[in-house]
Structure 1
């Protein structure tokens, strides 16, 4: 029903109220102090002062100091190198393009191994005492998914701000504001579709990986991508008349089978994991992505991958 509700393509939506409290993190504040040095002093000839005389902190240092002294931002960028497994019919054929098919399967297997390793290292580096919620991941996204769509349909902006990361919540709220006046939307989840693409469970975990924020102690982000198949119903009604003669005229209900790639994210700061939020929608990884994305190249080192994450997070 994502298309029917006009969710933005290429981003993720979350609509459930998490069972655990969602921690709110304030925006990072950056304060620049400038000092003015006169170039001409009484009785002394003009002197020029270069930047080396007064060491200025770099952008990376200011960002790091701000996060250490204040609070973490409420969201992190998409983790580079995330492999979202496509449907089998959308991958190269093993009969006509065996090399390409092997490359896709090898990249997928490699990403699963690296994802698991990233979680082990993440827990060790951040000294997390709680478990990694192996058995609760589907339950978390199931609740978030349902709550998000319910809030989006009813126009509950406060709920969307709590359920989604700020950038995605703003997109959903903008769509709510653009609705015609007097329109009422109702969303219902009919059932989970237990198909082979979700291993007959309705929800399949495609990627679960994490990374520590460089140079920021006990801070990092965890990202999980799901494939969700469900049958959803959406009904719209519009207000007709004014005053006592006001009534709502319902439009025909729309029942649709949906396949969605939902991403949820959790920020850890000072060793304390925050609440799970929906980051947006993802797209399956294509063979073209594997060919062009440097993070999928076999020659890309771990240091280069880490530097890429730092750049996207604004730490480099």
Structure 2
């Protein structure tokens, strides 16, 4: 009996050992692709989930509607806007900064013209330059913007201005008292030598292609407008008066009478640097819009990476990315 009791555990142990050895041999042969584990053949060692293909930027751009296209890209980096002669540093007191500003003016003008030619005639073949129409486009947009703002026409502003500027002007219109009406008029253009005796002078004309998107880009033009403008406000309220009667029943007709005060228009000379831009999206040109107003380049702006001397284009772009990334 003792011997029979002794055989039980030994048998069990033998079965356990056989089972463990089979499992071990099966595992080892699974990695060695043995014939004894043929049932596991064809099973991949590592199962990797296949990532769905990501749409390209061109595909994403084609799916966007024209109303969803971005408008506010900001002023293109490296845009040089020359100041008025009286605002430039003196050639006798600050000769080095003055000469550097003059050199940047000549250099940027030459580079911008070459870039514009490449954008219109090489990257987008057959695209017109519109060199003679630039001032007319800026004049019309400038007048329409201020007229729509004075009239409180928000819908017109959204077709004339970019999104950011249109929202800013619309909020100012909504904050006006309901009985207040603004007036604006352009009396004349100040035809000074600063605008070549025209009142409107092109200060910068730049264009750039949108990366990884064929037949797409943006063009920005900065114009200096010197003009004499008149602005004013009028306030008033409506009062009702009862007039008229008929036989049998009385009918009351109310006529509104406008009673208010008119503020005398203020006249002032203005010098504005207006930025207009046009998007080209997948071969289709958008309408010209006003991006906003900017200021001339000053001596303090010479520390900008886009204006620093002795740097390559790649180094300038990297410096701009680091500056914006740190904000």
Structure 2 length-normalised TM:
0.73
TM-superposed CA distance for 1:219, in Å, is 0.5
In the alignment, structure 2 segments of 5+ residues that lack a partner are 1-45, 241-255
- Alpha carbons 1:126, 1:219 under 8 Å: kept: no
| Alpha-carbon distance in structure 1 between the residues aligned to 2:150 and 2:296 | 26
Could you tell me whether the CA contact under 8 Å between 1:232 and 1:258 is conserved in 2? yes
Report what 1:290 is aligned to.
302
Higher relative helix content: 2
Corresponding residue number in structure 1 for 2:258: 246
Q: CA deviation at 1:232?
A: 1.0
Give the corresponding residue for 1:274.
286
CA distance in structure 1 between the aligned counterparts of 2:108 and 2:315, rounded to whole angstroms: 16
Q: Residue 75 of structure 1 contacts residue 267 of structure 1 at CA under 8 Å; is this kept in 2? A: no
- Cα distance, 1:73 vs. partner? 2.0
Q: Which moved more, 1:68-77 or 1:89-98?
A: 68-77
Q: Residue 238 of structure 2 contacts residue 257 of structure 2 at CA under 8 Å; is this kept in 1? A: yes
CA shift in 2, pair 1:69/1:133, >3 Å: same
Does residue 293 of structure 2 align to residue 299 of structure 1? no
Count of aligned pairs between the two proteins: 262
1:181: Cα distance to partner? 2.2
Unaligned runs of 5+ in 1: 1-48
In structure 2, what is the equivalent of residue 201 of structure 1?
Answer: 198
After TM superposition, the structure 1 = structure 2 runs for residues 70-85 of structure 1, keeping only pairs within 5 Å, are 70-71=64-65, 72-85=69-82
Mapping for residues 184-223 of structure 1, pairs under 5 Å: 184-223=181-220
> Is this contact kept in 2: 1:193–1:231, CA < 8 A?
yes
Give the 3 Å change call, closer, same or farther, for CA 124–68 of structure 1 in structure 2: farther
Within 5 Å, which residues of 2 pair with 1:1-316?
65-71=59-65, 72-243=69-240, 244-291=256-303, 293-304=304-315
TM-score (norm 1): 0.75
Q: Which structure's CA Rg is the greater one?
A: 2
Considering Cα pairs closer than 8 Å and 6+ residues apart, tell me whether 1 or 2 has the greater RCO: 1
Tell me the SS of whatever aligns to 2:306: helix
